[in-house]
Structures are given as C-alpha cells and as structure tokens.
C-alpha cells in the first residue's frame, strides 16, 4: 500500500512510518518540522517538508491509497493559552486533508485521537461509548475531528479509524543499516518519563505535579502504552478501514500506574536516583485515566505486549543514544563554537564551555540560568518572567545579560580582556 503519514517526523509518526516500511508498504511523510525532526524520518520513506494546508492535495495526487494522520498540535496547556492555534492547527488542517481525500478519492484514514476527548471521566476503565467532555481546546479539537470523520463516513463513504491514545511512552529500535532509536524529543518536554530520565541524568529534582489526588499514593494514575505497540495498532487499523464506517478504539492497557510508581521504575532501570519536588497540581490533569481496550482486542486482535519497565528501559536507551550522538557531534566540531540553549516550563539551565566561542541562552516561565565559560568569547543570556541568571566568564570577551520582570542577575567576569563590562546586578 502507498501510505501518506502526516507528522511522520514526530515521535509516534516516525515509529508508525518505520513499522509500515518494515511491513513492506511505500511511505510518504508530510511534516512541516515545526515539532518533528528531519533525522527521525526513517530510511526508505519519501519525505516532503511542508504544511498540510500548502501541500497535502499535491502529495495525495502523486499517489496514495491511505493516510495515517498524526500531524497536530498536542500540548494541553498551550491549547488553553492559545485556543485558536488548536482549532485552526488541528481541526482546520484536518478539514483541508479530508477535502483533498474526498476530491482525489482516497478513503482510508487512521487518525490519532486522544484520551483528552473524555476530559475528566466519571469511571474507569474508560469505554469508547463514554461521554465526550473535553476540558481543553486540544481535546475539543480532536473531538470535533472525530465527529467530522463520522459524518464523512456517512456522507461520502470515507473509511476512517480513530485511535484514542492514552499515555504513549518508550522508544522504538529500527534494526539494520540506517537504523537506531526513535524516541521522544519534545521542546518543551512535558511528559513524565522523558522528564524523569532527564532529571536522573542531570542530577536535578523532578517536579511531581500534585500529591493530594484521590488515588492510593496521592499522585495521578495513567495508562502507559509502548510506542511500538501503538504503531502496531495503526497497521491493524489500516487493514480494518471500511468505507462508510467510522471505527473508534481506545489504545490503553487497562492498567494504571501512579506518577510515583513510574519514577520508581525509572530509578530501577537507570540505576540513578531521582530526587523529587512535590509541586502543585498541573491544571487540567484528571486524577485517573485508564482505558478499556476490550473493543480493539475483540475487533482487531490488538493487545499491548510491552510493560512499563520495557517503556522506561527503551526510553533510557534512546536518551543515552542521543547523549552519545551529541558528544560525537561536539567532538567532531572540535575546539570551535559551543552553544547551549534551554527553554521549558520549569527551570531552564544552559551551559556552554569550550575553547572557542561559548554561547548559552536560557528562557522560560520558570527560573532561567545561563552560563558560558571559556578562553574565547563567552556570551550568556537569560530571559523570562521568573528569576533570570546569566554568567559569563573567561579570559576573552565576556558578555552576560539577564532580562525579565522577575529578579535578574547578570555577571560577566574576564581576565585580561579590556572588553569585559564587569558584574552587573539589577
Ligand atoms: N507529571 C509530573 N511531572 C512531570 C511531567 C508529568 O508529575 O514533569 C505528571 C502529570 O502531572 C500527570 C502524569 O505525570 O499526572 C502524566 O503526565 P504526562 O504529561 O506524561 O501525560 P498526560 O497524562 O498529561 O498526557 C497524555 C497525553 C496528552 C493527552 C493527555 C490526555 O500525552 O497528549 O494524556 O489527558 F492529551
């Protein structure tokens, strides 16, 4: 089959594309790389960089038998701050895709829907027939797409399958030449397992959002599914596409794990300690989200085969592979320029050090720290509404700038260079 994978340079999309290729399908990936990575495009896939709005009609007209549609905006918090981005970026772009499919005559589509369509479920495990009460524009936009797919099936004989993901985790290993690990690389990263692994490697505490939920240990309970199992469900869904019928399946394991339990598994897999900061609840987090996966088991024969430990272990392999690749790149670059940038909702730290020019920039709503040090020119900049600290140090020129409504500290210290502006605090 010739399959168009939208969002195929992203975390889940790249694994779906890799599995499709391994199963002998022809794969075209359309991705604007706004959140995806060109190096995640699996070898053998045809890659088109562009947006659905601009390119999808042309790409489909080139030849496609089916679409797996993953391209989307997917941050719940961002959707609360900027709803239009989600209605237009998710529902609007999907309408463009569906209209092009209708005109060109492509019927089969597997759509990545989400547990967020259920909002705060009244009972668990959640069934596909339970009420849809999204609590965010992200969940709302996905719910609206599911409704549109039902209508297009009824009115135009579209053959859609919606897969409602619960918590996707882990990493996928592609064997052979050009293979390697495909995993999660979001900026900013909001998901629990990658954040726990990052905290473990960087020796900083992990924020646990909410410890007073009505759950056994007070932290939220989620249903985690390995990304390889998720991709497998897409291949089964493609085979099940049926004109005029909208199939909808939850993708879960029917088992829940608390935030504390996930952290414990990550500690065990890495052999590293993870310090924890008990933080306030994150707005919009339901206490328990666990899926019933009876329907997909009965109709498509799908069951998850990899447990939480395998998810944490594979995500850890991916994290280490990324660190090795980064070290290799730095070594290959030699004594030239060193750059570090950090941005995220929590504390952001960037540090660059090297014999050449060193640049560090940190920004984000939490505390931002940037430090640059080296015998060449050192530049550090921190900016954000929280506390901003920037420090540059070295015998060459040193520049530090901190800016923001919170407390700002900038210090640059240099040896013999006359250009150093000296310490500044505001
Ligand atoms: N968490 C922390 N610390 C972190 C990150 C997460 O304590 O640094 C907690 C969250 O508060 C939550 C749990 O870990 O209780 C899981 O959080 P994730 O961000 O990993 O996943 P979510 O359950 O929030 O999100 C998932 C999907 C979304 C989807 C949502 C539906 O990733 O795309 O389920 O509610 F919208």
Compute the distance between CA of residue 342 and CA of residue 360 in angstroms, rounded to an integer: 8
Compute the distance between CA of residue 104 and CA of residue 297 in angstroms, rounded to an integer: 33
- Give distance in angstroms: CA of 208 to centre of ligand 1: 11
Strands 180-182 and 172-174 turn out to be antiparallel
Compute the distance between CA of residue 135 and CA of residue 72 in angstroms, rounded to an integer: 18
**b or e along 76-113 (b: 16 or more beta carbons within 10 Å of the residue's beta carbon)?**
bebbeeeeebbbebbbebbbbbbebbeeeebbbbbbbb
Angle at 203 between CA 404 and CA 276, to 5 degrees: 85
Pocket test for ligand 1, best of 133, 195, 261, 282 (most atoms within 8 A of CB): 282
Res 284: pLDDT? 84
- Give distance in angstroms: CA of 192 to centre of ligand 1: 6
Domain 2-320: give its CATH code.
3.40.50.720
Smallest CA separation from ligand 1 atom 32, residue: 167
pTM attached to this predicted model: 0.81
- Give distance in angstroms: CA of 190 to centre of ligand 1: 7
Q: Is the CB of 115 under 6 A from ligand 1?
A: yes
Model pLDDT for residues 54-70, shown as the tens digit of each residue: 999 999 999 999 999 99
Q: Are 366 and 277 in contact (CB under 8 A)?
A: no
Res 344: pLDDT? 42
Pocket test for ligand 1, best of 170, 285, 286 (most atoms within 8 A of CB): 285
Res 283: pLDDT? 87
Q: Are 357 and 337 in contact (CB under 8 A)?
A: yes
- Give distance in angstroms: CA of 283 to centre of ligand 1: 11
Atom of ligand 1 nearest to the CA of 136: 36
- State the 10-residue block means of pLDDT for the chain, 426 residues long: 98 98 98 97 98 98 98 94 97 98 98 97 96 96 98 98 98 92 94 98 97 98 98 98 98 97 98 97 93 98 98 98 92 67 49 58 54 60 57 58 54 39 29
Res 414: pLDDT? 43
Strands 368-373 and 388-394 turn out to be parallel
Residues in CB range of 119: below 8 A, 6 or more apart: 132, 133, 134, 135, 139, 286
Q: Are 69 and 7 in contact (CB under 8 A)?
A: yes
The rounded Cα 3 to chain-centroid distance in angstroms is: 22
Model pLDDT for residues 347-379, shown as the tens digit of each residue: 445 555 555 555 666 555 445 556 656 566 656
Q: Is the CB of 245 under 6 A from ligand 1?
A: no
**End-to-end distance of the chain based on CA atoms, in angstroms?**
62
Taking CA atoms, 328 is separated from 38, 148, 198, 337, in Å, by 18, 47, 19, 15
The residues annotated as belonging to the active site are 138
DSSP 126: B
Q: Is the CB of 236 under 6 A from ligand 1?
A: no
**How do the domains of the chain map onto residue ranges?**
2-320, 338-425
């Amino acid at each position: 089959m010739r399959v168009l994978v939208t969002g195929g340079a992203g975390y889940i999309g790249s694994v779906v594309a890799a599995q499709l290729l391994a199963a002998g399908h022809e794969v075209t990936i359309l991705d604007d790389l706004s959140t995806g990575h060109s190096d995640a495009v699996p070898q053998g896939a045809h890659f088109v960089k562009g947006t659905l709005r601009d390119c999808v009609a042309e790409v489909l007209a080139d030849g496609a038998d089916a679409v797996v549609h993953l391209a989307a905006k997917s941050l719940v918090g961002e959707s609360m701050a900027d709803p239009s981005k989600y209605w237009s970026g998710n529902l609007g772009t999907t309408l463009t895709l569906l209209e092009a499919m209708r005109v060109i005559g492509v019927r089969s589509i597997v759509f990545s829907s989400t547990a967020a369509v259920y909002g705060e479920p009244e009972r668990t495990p959640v069934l596909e027939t339970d009420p849809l009460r999204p609590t965010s524009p992200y969940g709302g936009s996905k719910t609206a797409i599911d409704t549109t797919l039902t209508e297009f099936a009824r009115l135009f004989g579209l053959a859609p399958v919606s897969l409602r993901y619960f918590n996707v985790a882990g990493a996928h290993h592609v064997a052979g030449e050009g293979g390697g690990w495909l995993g999660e690389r979001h900026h900013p990263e909001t998901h629990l397992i990658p954040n726990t692994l990052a905290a473990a490697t960087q020796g900083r505490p992990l924020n646990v959002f909410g410890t007073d939920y009505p759950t056994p240990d007070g932290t939220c309970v989620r249903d985690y599914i390995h990304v390889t199992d998720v991709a497998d469900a897409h291949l089964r869904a493609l085979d099940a596409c049926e004109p005029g019928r909208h199939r909808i399946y939850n993708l879960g394991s029917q088992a829940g794990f608390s935030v504390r339990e996930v952290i414990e598994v990550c500690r065990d897999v890495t052999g590293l300690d993870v310090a924890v900061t008990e933080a306030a609840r994150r707005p919009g987090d339901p206490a328990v989200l666990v899926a019933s996966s009876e329907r997909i088991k009965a109709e498509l024969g799908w069951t998850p085969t990899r447990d939480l430990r395998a998810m944490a272990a594979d995500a850890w392999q991916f994290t280490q592979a990324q660190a090795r690749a980064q070290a290799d790149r730095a070594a290959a670059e030699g004594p030239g320029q060193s750059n570090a940038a950090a941005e995220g909702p929590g504390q952001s730290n960037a540090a660059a050090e090297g014999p050449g020019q060193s640049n560090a920039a940190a920004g984000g709503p939490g505390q931002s720290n940037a430090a640059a040090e080296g015998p060449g020119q050192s530049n550090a900049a921190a900016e954000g509404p929280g506390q901003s600290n920037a420090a540059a140090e070295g015998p060459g020129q040193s520049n530090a700038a901190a800016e923001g409504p919170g407390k700002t500290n900038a210090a640059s210290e240099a040896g013999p260079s006359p250009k150093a502006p000296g310490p500044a605090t505001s």
